[in-house]
């Protein structure tokens, strides 16, 4: 009897059956057929070894063990493959970090704020946060805005209780949806000694008439730098560098003299858009009264502050002509970003 041919036939059949096993159940059937100890083709092959002469038995026994070990190793390898996740079986390295599945895309305004944080962070500014529901002290008083200033008119703010103004008498401390992110500057200065270099980004609320460039809720980035020898020249440099970094070298920035209760001198900041100019925010040197309110000595430190409209920067960069597009939740519009 040709023992080598029997061993080769067994090995080829076993390896082919193991490779063809599509799941654990099929592989178990292959094991019983080819490696079963009580019955199966291995038992028959072992019987052949027992029938050879004593002189042949060492050689034939060695061949038998080699074939058996090879088939057993192939079985264990296939069993391990079938136990792996499908991705690994397909040849992917599941030890690598994966990507968390996400429906949709980040909103263009969120993308813009991420870009703002990155650009201004390279200029040494850190991000500070504050509440959207504010009291009058932080929203007005500490910012040097007097009681008779039009900015405090109940019709120009979202106070949380209109009944609080009944009979023309306001409570000691009203709360409202913040009308500017400058409130965060006050909170930071109240708790931090100079030097300070921070920005705050977030929603602000004003009952403006909604049109192509105005909304009753929009986003601002407020910046503040306080220390020894801070100047208007530094403010203008920061704003020009920031605008050209985000919008490109072709953008033109201009500064117009203006007035804000919390800065002196003050400027309006405009950027070029097509053949016209669009206001993007206000800025100026922090008023000494604001510095005193938070416990700073205006004879020792000075500072500048600026507030930029995030929507308007985003509009110019992506050539969006109507601010309302950002809030309509039209997937066709949002999917472009």
From CA 327, how far away is CA 218, in angstroms rounded?
10
Do the domain assignments include residue 98?
Answer: no
In order of 86, 185, 232, 236, 280, the CA distances from 306 in angstroms are 54, 11, 11, 10, 10
Question: Mean per-residue pLDDT for 84-111?
Answer: 71
pLDDT value for 35: 81
Question: Mean per-residue pLDDT for 301-314?
Answer: 94
Do the domain assignments include residue 68?
Answer: yes
**Residues in CB range of 191: below 8 A, 6 or more apart:** none
Domain holding 84, by residue range, is: 3-89
Residues 25, 166, single domain; the answer is no
Residues 168, 44, single domain; the answer is no
Residues 138, 243, single domain; the answer is yes
pLDDT value for 274: 80
Residue burial 6-21, b: 16+ Cβ < 10 Å; e: rest: bbeebbeebbebbeeb
Residues 41, 77, single domain; the answer is yes
Above pLDDT 90, what percent of the chain?
49
pLDDT value for 48: 73
Task: Select the highest-mean-pLDDT range: 27-36, 51-60, 307-316.
Answer: 307-316
Do the domain assignments include residue 13?
Answer: yes
Residues 132, 190, single domain; the answer is yes
- Asked whether the predicted pLDDT for residue 50 surpasses 80, the reply is no
Residues 287, 215, single domain; the answer is yes
Residues 273, 312, single domain; the answer is yes
pLDDT value for 66: 84
Do the domain assignments include residue 99?
Answer: no
Q: What is the dihedral of CA 125, 126, 131, 132, to 10 degrees?
A: 50
Residues 178, 322, single domain; the answer is yes
- What is the DSSP-derived secondary structure letter of residue 211? S
Of 55, 89, 123, which residue is a domain's last? 89
pLDDT value for 163: 56
- Asked whether the predicted pLDDT for residue 34 surpasses 50, the reply is yes
Residues 188, 118, single domain; the answer is yes
Do the domain assignments include residue 249?
Answer: yes
Residues 154, 263, single domain; the answer is yes
pLDDT value for 89: 47
Residues 148, 240, single domain; the answer is yes
Do the domain assignments include residue 15?
Answer: yes
Of 89, 118, 141, which residue is a domain's last? 89
Question: Mean per-residue pLDDT for 84-109?
Answer: 69
User: Which residues on neighbouring strands pair with residue 197, listed in sequence order?
Assistant: 225
CATH number of the domain within which 160 lies: 3.30.930.10
Do the domain assignments include residue 102?
Answer: no
From CA 78, how far away is CA 32, in angstroms rounded?
15
Distance of CA 69 to the CA centre of its chain: 54
pLDDT value for 188: 95
Residues 140, 271, single domain; the answer is yes
Q: What is the dihedral of CA 133, 137, 142, 147, to 10 degrees?
A: 120
| Nearest CA-CA partner of 177 in 213, 215, 135, 141 | 135
Max CA distance (Å), the chain: 120
Question: Mean per-residue pLDDT for 78-94?
Answer: 67
Pairing of strands 263-273, 196-205: unpaired
- Asked whether the predicted pLDDT for residue 17 surpasses 50, the reply is yes
* Helix/strand/coil for 217: strand
Do the domain assignments include residue 101?
Answer: no
Tell me how many domains the chain contains: 2
Confidence of residue 313 (pLDDT cuts 50, 70, 90): very high
- Asked whether the predicted pLDDT for residue 60 surpasses 80, the reply is no
Task: Select the highest-mean-pLDDT range: 94-98, 170-174, 188-192.
Answer: 188-192
């Amino acid at each position: 009897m040709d023992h080598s041919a029997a061993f080769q036939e067994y090995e080829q059949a076993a390896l082919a059956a193991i490779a063809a096993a599509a799941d654990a159940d099929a592989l178990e059937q292959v094991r019983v057929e080819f490696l079963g100890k009580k019955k199966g083709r291995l038992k028959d092959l072992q019987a052949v070894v027992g029938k050879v002469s004593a002189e042949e038995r060492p050689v034939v026994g060695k061949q038998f063990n080699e074939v058996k070990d090879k088939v057993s190793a192939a079985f264990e390898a296939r069993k391990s493959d079938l136990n792996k996740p499908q991705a690994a079986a397909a040849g992917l390295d599941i030890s690598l970090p994966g990507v968390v599945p996400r429906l949709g895309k980040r909103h263009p305004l969120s993308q813009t704020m991420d870009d703002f944080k990155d650009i201004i962070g390279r200029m040494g500014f850190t991000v500070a946060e504050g509440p959207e529901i504010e009291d009058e002290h932080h929203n007005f008083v500490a910012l040097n805005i007097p009681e008779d200033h039009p900015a405090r008119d109940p019709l120009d703010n979202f106070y949380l209780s209109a009944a609080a103004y009944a009979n023309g008498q306001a409570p000691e401390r009203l709360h409202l949806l913040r009308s500017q992110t400058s409130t965060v500057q006050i909170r930071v200065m109240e708790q931090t000694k100079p030097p300070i270099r921070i920005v705050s980004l977030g929603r602000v609320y004003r009952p403006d008439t909604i049109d192509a460039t105005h909304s009753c809720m929009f986003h601002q980035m407020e910046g503040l730098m306080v220390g020894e020898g801070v100047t208007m020249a530094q403010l203008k440099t920061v704003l020009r560098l920031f605008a050209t970094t985000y919008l490109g070298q072709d953008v033109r920035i201009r500064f117009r003299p203006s007035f804000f209760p919390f800065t002196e001198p003050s400027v309006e900041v405009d950027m070029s858009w097509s053949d016209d100019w669009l206001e993007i925010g206000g800025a100026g040197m922090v008023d000494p009264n604001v510095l005193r309110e938070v416990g700073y000595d205006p004879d020792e430190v000075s500072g500048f502050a600026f507030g930029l409209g995030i929507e308007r920067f985003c509009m110019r960069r992506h050539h969006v002509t109507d601010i309302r597009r950002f809030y309509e939740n039209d997937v066709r519009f949002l999917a472009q970003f």
